[in-house]
Amino acid sequence: MSHFKSDFLHIMEERSFIHQLSDAQELDNLFMKETVTGYIGFDPTAKSLHAGSLIQIMMLYWMQKTGHKPIVLLGGATSMIGDPSFKKAARKSLTEESITQNIAEIQKIFSRYLNFENSTVAAIMVNNADWLRPLNYLEFLFNVGRHFSVNRMLSFDSVKMRLDRQHSLSFLEFNYMILQAYDFIELNRNYGVRLQLGGSDQWGNILNGIELGHRMGTPQLYALTSPLLTTASGTKMGKSLNGAAWLNADMLCPYEFWQYWRNVKDVDVLRFLKLYTTLPMEEIARLEKLQGTEINEVKKILATEVTVMLHGRQAAEAAAETACKTFDEGKLHHDLPSINIPVSKIKEGLLLPVLLVKMQLAKSNTEARRYIQGCSIKVNDQLIKDEKRIINASDIDQQCLIKISLGKKKHCLVKII
């Protein structure tokens, strides 16, 4: 039975989003009596977010779904510094130009999950560069910096672990938590924000913002953090076989995104259905009873539902159909990930390890050779054991394609142009 009366916190609890919550009863009452505005910050350090960010995006989704107002804060200024929390070293600095490009790409993702128009609780997207870049340094030190105790800042686990391991922490990075706290104040002043949400690694930073609010005269502010998830195999959420499970389709196609979720461990499926889909809890409870090979059908439901939210129903069903034809029926399907190679290159002949790297099935020629030696590579469904194998015109089928497979689950097409 839920501890909460408000729809939003009830959903957060029953779907296992809550790791830490400040002033739980007060916040529950606030959600009951008024429209609450809450935000999550995302630093645009790449051209796409990855699956590790989905849990936060879903929290904003449920805020709006239950009648409250979500704000997406893009860290156009803070991403120039980088959050030092639990990092071993400083993040590589970004130029203003690259940050602007990243923001333009990341913005596309949120429109899939949030309604930014025609609603009393329309989502808002803001950039902290709007208020952080014009700051007068001396005024900021006097008005904001004086409220922070260096002793206390050094006691936070995110900083303490870095220093205990004798990893360098620059003064620039040390300022990050002050700037993040100040974001909370600005968002409260300008948009009436009362709640900051984030991953559990942000708990200390969010509490800094709440405490700064007390000192600077804001209404009571609140914090809600989600657990930092790893898969059953210990892999950090968002990491796939070939790197990050990106959310932008031009960095990871819908089929590969679908496959990322289809390939999760059995023990992760029900937890992920709660967090990453909108399936009713009654339906999830029904799926929980399925056993044995039926769990594979549940994985397909998970993969399709998560892909629908990001890429749309048509792309999700096409990905599921491609997987069915490729794995269940053994047919070659044109929607598999592919690369184009000129026929002249194939006629010259391409060394298989080089092709595997080009197709991103291997990170290096050495890794590619290791896959071949380990009997993990097939060309047109034929096992290859010769690491010096040349791919040439004789491998092209009647549809001008060559199918390359890594193990049972990774397939890619060479399209001859």
pLDDT tens readout for residues 19-78: 999 999 999 999 999 999 999 999 898 889 999 999 999 999 999 999 999 999 999 988
Residue 311 reports pLDDT greater than 50: yes
237 pLDDT more than 80: no
DSSP 53: G
Task: Output 54 or 235, whichever has higher pLDDT.
Answer: 54
Residue 172 has pLDDT above 80, yes or no: no
- Write out the two tokens for 48: 């796409």
Name, in order, each residue with C-beta under 8 angstroms of 261's C-beta and a sequence gap of 6 or more.
272, 276, 299, 302, 303, 306, 307
Q: How confident is the model at residue 79 (pLDDT cuts 50, 70, 90)?
A: confident
d(CA 212, CA 379): 61
Q: Are 55 and 276 in contact (CB under 8 A)?
A: yes
Average pLDDT, the chain: 86
Asked if pLDDT for residue 214 goes beyond 90, the answer is: yes
Residue 94 vs residue 9, higher pLDDT: 9
Average pLDDT over residues 398-417: 79
Q: What is the pLDDT of residue 49?
A: 92
Single out the residue of 316, 338, 205 nearest to residue 255, CA to CA.
316
User: Mean pLDDT across the stretch 323-337?
Assistant: 64
Residue 221 has pLDDT above 70, yes or no: yes
Beta pairing class for 350-351 and 390-391: antiparallel
- Supply φ then ψ for residue 38, to 5 degrees: -130, 160
How far lies 210's CA from each of 32, 129, 180, 200, in Å?
A: 21, 21, 11, 16
9-13, 31-35, 119-123: segment of lowest average pLDDT: 119-123
Q: Model confidence at 376, in pLDDT bands (50, 70, 90)?
A: confident
Q: Tell me the average pLDDT across 391-400.
A: 76
- Looking at per-residue pLDDT, the higher value among 337 and 303 belongs to 303
Give the global pTM: 0.78
CA distances from 345 to 154, 372, 414 (A): 58, 22, 12
Comparing CA positions, the residue from 309, 312, 247, 300 lying closest to residue 275 is 309
Taking alpha carbons only, the member of 83, 166, 170 closest to residue 128 is 83
**pLDDT 10s digits, 138-167:** 788 778 878 777 767 666 766 666 666 666
Residue 139, SS3 per DSSP: helix
pLDDT the model gives residue 328: 55
Say whether pLDDT at 86 is over 50.
no
Mean pLDDT of 286-314: 92
- Of all residues in the chain, the percent with pLDDT exceeding 70 is 86
Mean pLDDT computed over 348-361: 85
> Is pLDDT at 322 greater than 90 in this prediction?
no
- The two beta strands, 377-379 and 401-406, are antiparallel
Give the pLDDT score at 147.
77
Q: Are 402 and 391 in contact (CB under 8 A)?
A: yes
Say if residue 119's pLDDT is above 90: no
Q: Which of 15-19, 236-240, 263-267, 326-330 has the lowest mean pLDDT?
A: 326-330
First vs last Cα of the chain: how many Å apart? 60
Band of residue 382 on the pLDDT scale cut at 50, 70, 90: confident
Q: What is the pLDDT of residue 199?
A: 93
Which strand ranges, in their side-by-side order, compose the sheet holding 69-74?
20-21, 222-226, 195-199, 37-42, 69-74, 124-127
pLDDT of residue 327: 60
pLDDT at 397: 73
pLDDT at 187 over 90: yes
Contact (Cβ atoms closer than 8 angstroms) between residue 412 and residue 336: yes
Strands annotated E in 69-204: 69-74, 124-127, 195-199
Top mean-pLDDT range of 12-16, 114-118, 133-137, 294-298 = 12-16
Question: Is the model's pLDDT at 332 over the cut of 60?
Answer: no
Q: Does residue 413 contact residue 336 with C-beta atoms inside 8 Å? A: yes
pLDDT confidence band for 239 (50 / 70 / 90): low
What totals of helices (H) and strands (E) does the chain contain, helices first?
Answer: 19, 15
Q: What is the mean pLDDT of residues 238-242?
A: 60
